[in-house]
Amino acid sequence: MYTDPSQPIEARVEDLLKRMTIEEKIGQMTQVEKDSIRPGDITKYFIGSILSGGGGSPKENSAQGWYAMVEGFQNEALATRLGIPILYGVDAVHGHGNMQNATIFPHNIGLGAANNPELTEKIGRATAEEMLASGTPWNFAPVIAVVQDVRWGRTYEGYSEDTEIVSSLGAAYIRGMQSLESDDVATPGQSLFALATPKHFIGDGATIWASSRTENYKLDQGNMQVPEEVLRELFLPPYQKAVDAGAMNVMASFNSWKGIKLHAQQPLLTEILKNELGFNGFIVSDWQAINQIYPDDYYASVVTSINAGVDMNMVPYDYISFIETMKQAVTNGDIPESRVDEAVRRILRVKFALGLFEHPMPDTKYQSTVRSRDHLELARQAVRESLVLLKNDNSVLPLSKDIPVIFVAGEGANDLGLQSGGWTLEWQGRPGNDNEGTTIFSGIRATVSSETQVLYNRDADFTEFKDTAGNRLIADVGIVVLAERPYAEGVGDQADISLTASEIKLITETQKQSKALVVILIAGRPRVITEQLPLADAWIAAWLPGTEGGGVADVLFGDHPFTGKLSYSWPRSNEQLPININNSAGKTGCDAPLFPLGYGLTYGEQTPEILECNP
């Protein structure tokens, strides 16, 4: 019966489950990193899932190379006695970032500033198409953390500090990724186009500074101490919206709540998420996170996490130890076989809903969507809508396309890697123009008139440029692009988010050589810019726009308006941190944020007196 797509999914699940041995069931609960699985072991151990971590691409990093790799793993799974297909997972957190020359969209902090659910839904769909082009149907995204401290290295993965924005955009992304359209290749009973993963359940954006047990991390994987009523009010609603939107997978969080790791929290994982919220998909662990429950007792860690409600373990390396530990725990009665059955039932339900039994590999027609015109236009629209105008003195913006001379300074102006940030080609991201795309500099050059000189120097040294009389050239407008170095997760936890000395020098040097100055910030969070704000006529928060930097020029020169609004409070100083709408209500003057949540100028609006705080 389980091979008959005309049968109801629940009937197929139950029929398959009763045919399975305990070894086959435990195999379904096991997820292995692609470079760690030995040839033949998917078949031997009935492995249920393989994943690529950040940077986990095949040697031929193309849609075709990815597809061939996944198909090889899939063929091993189909050679098992029952022919249960694997589920392959990737971190496509802003487009399929591991795959070279994919469409890289703005990170979620930019989508939060755009706050356009329809746009976010389309991005979810486009990302799913480019994933399926590579043979991968499962995306470990979106992050639906309600971020309370922008020092966190994952701030840019979160849409906002505001619960409503996060709930709305997270649900929209899930709908876009998972919903089937009329022309999709689907089988009878299939209900999911691709699989999204709202994460990390729960409170990963609410940890306390210096509470992390992980070496060199400060906030990431740390401890959340809020009472249950706050957890329910601020951090739970996005998950309810995600479940309502059809989420069939949730990733448990590395962080702790009141000192207990989330992977051990049965009241949260089972009683609240599964029972109260009505979640009927499966819970996957984070990367080796089960091991953190009792670092010196792997057996106890496995027993505790599985009994708490984790259904699939992202092992990701020593899968044989996990399988043997699970078998021993079931034999000992420490993990009831009924709990194993519940976990496997949830996993199989998703595999059937994805149509994997009928189509273990996606239709290759989706390979034509990678960097398609529609996807590139969507990404460019997302860049435009994500930009936030922080300051615009003397209406210096929009710029005229006929300006005689423009100086452009800063490495970030001509670097797609800096534009894209973490989770791009590698886990931490990397500088360089290793993807196809449009830098901010090239977007400016393509927008202005043929008579305009657009001159670039990463260090703001424009002394070599002379006018027709041989005098040192002065720009009509200088544009400085300041860019954070890429980072991801706790590696990006940072106590000091102010501008560096070299960044300030870029501003002051370009200012000396320009009649007007515009500063564009490429960053995964707000930066402390209070003292530098008077140095430039205009400031723009461009976040991490991805590969389609031409969208910045679209707004800079007035082809489109500024519409973005801050989805995070903007701090005046490091000493103010953490500051957000939940701890700054009623604060005024120097105690208030420099720019509040929802701030963003449009053309024609005057910059308010934001610096006057009268200490």
Residue 324 Ramachandran class (φ > 0 left, ψ -120 to 50 alpha, else beta): alpha
At residue 606, the pLDDT reads: 75
pLDDT for the residue 471: 87
Distance CA 169, CA 418 (A): 25
Q: Determine the pLDDT at residue 612.
A: 66
Which has the closest alpha carbon to 301: 310, 267, 273, 212? 310
Which parts of the chain sit beneath pLDDT 70? 609-612, 614-615
The gap between the terminal CA atoms of the chain, to the nearest Å, is: 74
pLDDT of residue 240: 98
In the chain, what percentage of residues exceed pLDDT 90? 94
pLDDT of residue 430: 97
Alpha carbon separation from 547 to 36, 61, 107, 382, 387 (Å, rounded): 31, 17, 11, 11, 15
SS3 128: helix
- Separation of alpha carbons 87 and 347, rounded Å: 9
Nearest to 362 by CA among 551, 130, 150: 130
Inter-CA distances, 524 with 20, 394, 419, 482, Å: 46, 28, 10, 12
Amino acid at 110: G
- C-alpha–C-alpha distance, residues 285 and 309, integer Å: 10
- pLDDT score at 180: 97
Residue with tokens 């949260």: 268
Positive or negative: CA dihedral 215, 221, 226, 228: negative
The reported pLDDT for the residue numbered 224 is 98
Q: How far apart are CA 280 and CA 197, in angstroms?
A: 13
Q: Are strands 87-90 and 49-51 parallel, antiparallel or unpaired?
A: parallel
Domain 371-591 sits in which CATH superfamily?
Glycoside hydrolase family 3 C-terminal domain (3.40.50.1700)
pLDDT for 610: 60
Catalytic residues: 286, 489
Angstrom distance (rounded) from CA 459 to CA 356 = 52
Domain ranges of the chain: 1-30+196-353, 32-44+65-86, 371-591
Fold of 1-30+196-353: TIM Barrel (3.20.20)
Specify the pLDDT at position 563. 98
The whole model's pTM is what? Answer: 0.98
